């Protein structure tokens, strides 16, 4: 183990946040308990405050702005050539840094899943059921639970990412036009340079979910608007439009049932009911929590309606500049 008081830190950990919360203290406690001790921890709140941690490795520098602005600034002052990103409401697993730095010996950008902590309430479990199922995250489910194999992926979230500083600076950091969605755009920019994004299922952080319905759907709406706007600048994947197609499908079915036969609507909504029963059974098998399974099933449909509407809103009403504002 490297002496935590030796010269240059082996990694600079960056945590942007608005103000200190109990979650932040859990995050910092988890970081200070890592097996790897030779690091600096750069905390960036909106306003200067005492976070009540007596450790010389912890640096608190106030800077208002979006998480992207804070991360870009923190990287500019970081002393290590390896940067680690984590959110203030996430707790690293005990071997997070050790695993990440081992991966960084061969890779330039690595990350892993952000999984839900244990013993969460039913409303947070419902959100997690959505995120960790193909009914919710589709092909990107690897971001929210550990999958079987190490692999290269299309994108990673900044709640759990390590990157070499020269690579980060080389692509100009995070584009300030993007929030939320800055991490997805960042991944797209990485791929344009030929960089591969390495996913390690053993590189785990525990990330608190947003409660359903308001907080969860607010987050879904924000991401959907970004996805819609990003389509216009060429960042398009077919699965971005699945929820929007579903949203358009419903009024079409209602119209057809009025014009032709109500049997069309009965069949369509019967199919939705059948799928809902299957989703509920799957969720209950996974968590054995009746309330969370019911809320999770409703969350699937509410999230897809919200996401579909958000993507359409982003396409028609949200503008993203193609030039970078770093």
Tens digit of each residue's pLDDT (9 = 90 or more) over 111-157:
999 999 998 999 999 999 999 999 998 888 999 999 878 999 988 88
CA dihedral 90, 91, 95, 99 (to 10 degrees): 0
Same domain, 199 and 232: no
With respect to residue 230, please indicate whether it lies within any of the assigned structural domains. Answer: yes
- Any domain includes 141: no
Higher per-residue confidence, 259 vs 166: 166
What is the model's pLDDT at position 2? 38
Mean pLDDT of 219-246: 83
Residues found in the chain: 326
pLDDT tens-digit map of 184-221: 888 888 888 888 899 999 999 999 999 999 999 999 99
Largest pairwise CA distance in the chain? 77
Neighbouring C-alpha atoms within 13 Å toward the C-beta of 120: 21
Residues 284 and 168 in one domain: no
> Has residue 233 got a pLDDT over 80?
no
pTM of the model: 0.87
DSSP calls for 215-276: HHHHHHHHHHHHHHHHHTTT---GGGGHHHHHHHHHHHHHHHHHHT-HHHHHHHHHHHHHHH
Based on the domain organization, do 90 and 18 belong to the same domain?
Answer: yes
Count each helix (H run) and each strand (E run) in the chain, helices first.
10, 11
Both 39 and 172 in a single domain? yes
- Gyration radius (Cα) of the chain, Å: 21
Show which of 147, 174, 209 is a domain's final residue: 209
User: Quick check: bond before 97 cis, omega within 30?
Assistant: no
228 assigned to some structural domain? yes
User: Based on the domain organization, do 167 and 274 belong to the same domain?
Assistant: no
Residue 176 lies in a domain: yes
- State which residues form the domain around 63: 11-112+156-209
Specify whether 278 is located in the same domain as 180.
Answer: no
Query: Residues 163, 255: one domain?
Result: no
Query: Do the domain assignments include residue 138?
Result: no
In a domain, 74, yes or no: yes
Q: 102 and 166: one domain?
A: yes
Looking at the predicted structure, is the pLDDT value of residue 49 above 70? yes
**Domain annotation covers residue 24:** yes
Q: Quick check: is 127 in a domain?
A: no
Mean pLDDT for 266-270 is 87
pLDDT tier for residue 80 given thresholds of 50, 70 and 90: very high
Per-residue pLDDT at 59: 93
Judgement on whether residues 188 and 290 belong to the same structural domain of the protein:
no
Same domain, 57 and 170: yes
Task: Please give the tally of structural domains in the chain.
Answer: 2
Alpha carbon distance 258, 161 (integer Å): 51
With beta carbons less than 8 A apart as the criterion, state whether 293 and 285 touch: no
Output the domain CATH number for residue 95.
3.90.550.10
> Is residue 165 helix, strand or coil?
helix
Q: Are 190 and 288 contained in the same domain?
A: no
CA 218, distance to chain mean position in Å, is 14
Report the Cα–Cα distance between both ends of the chain, in Å, rounded.
36
Q: Which two tokens stand for residue 217?
A: 């759907």
Claim to verify: residue 106 and residue 16 sit in the same structural domain: yes
């Amino acid at each position: 183990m490297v002496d935590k008081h030796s010269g240059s830190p082996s990694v600079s950990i960056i945590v942007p946040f608005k103000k200190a919360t109990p979650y932040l203290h859990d995050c910092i406690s988890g970081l200070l308990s890592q097996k790897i001790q030779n690091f600096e921890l750069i905390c960036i709140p909106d306003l200067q405050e005492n976070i009540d941690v007596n450790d010389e490795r912890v640096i608190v520098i106030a800077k208002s702005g979006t998480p992207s602005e804070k991360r870009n600034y923190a990287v500019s002052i970081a002393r290590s050539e390896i940067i680690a990103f984590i959110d203030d409401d996430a707790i690293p697993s005990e071997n997070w840094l050790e695993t990440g730095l081992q991966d960084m010996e061969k890779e330039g950008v690595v990350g892993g899943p952000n999984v839900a902590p244990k013993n969460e309430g039913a409303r947070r479990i419902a959100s997690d059921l959505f995120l960790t199922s193909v009914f919710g995250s589709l092909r990107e489910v690897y971001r929210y639970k550990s999958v079987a194999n190490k692999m290269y992926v299309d994108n990673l979230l900044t709640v759990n990412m390590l990157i070499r500083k020269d690579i980060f600076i080389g692509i100009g950091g995070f584009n300030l036009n993007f929030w939320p969605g800055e991490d997805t755009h960042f991944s797209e920019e990485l791929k344009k340079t030929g960089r591969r994004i390495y996913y390690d299922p053993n590189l785990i952080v525990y990330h608190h979910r947003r409660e359903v319905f308001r907080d969860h759907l607010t987050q879904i709406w924000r991401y959907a608007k970004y996805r819609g706007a990003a389509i216009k600048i060429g960042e398009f994947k077919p699965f971005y439009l699945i929820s929007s197609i579903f949203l358009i499908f419903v009024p079409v079915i209602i119209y057809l049932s009025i014009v032709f036969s109500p049997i069309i609507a009965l069949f369509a909504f019967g199919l939705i009911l059948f799928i809902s029963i299957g989703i509920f059974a799957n969720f209950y098998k996974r968590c054995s929590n009746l309330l969370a399974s019911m809320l999770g099933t409703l969350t699937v449909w509410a999230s897809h309606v919200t996401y579909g509407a958000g993507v359409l809103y982003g396409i028609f009403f949200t503008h993203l500049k193609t030039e970078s504002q770093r």
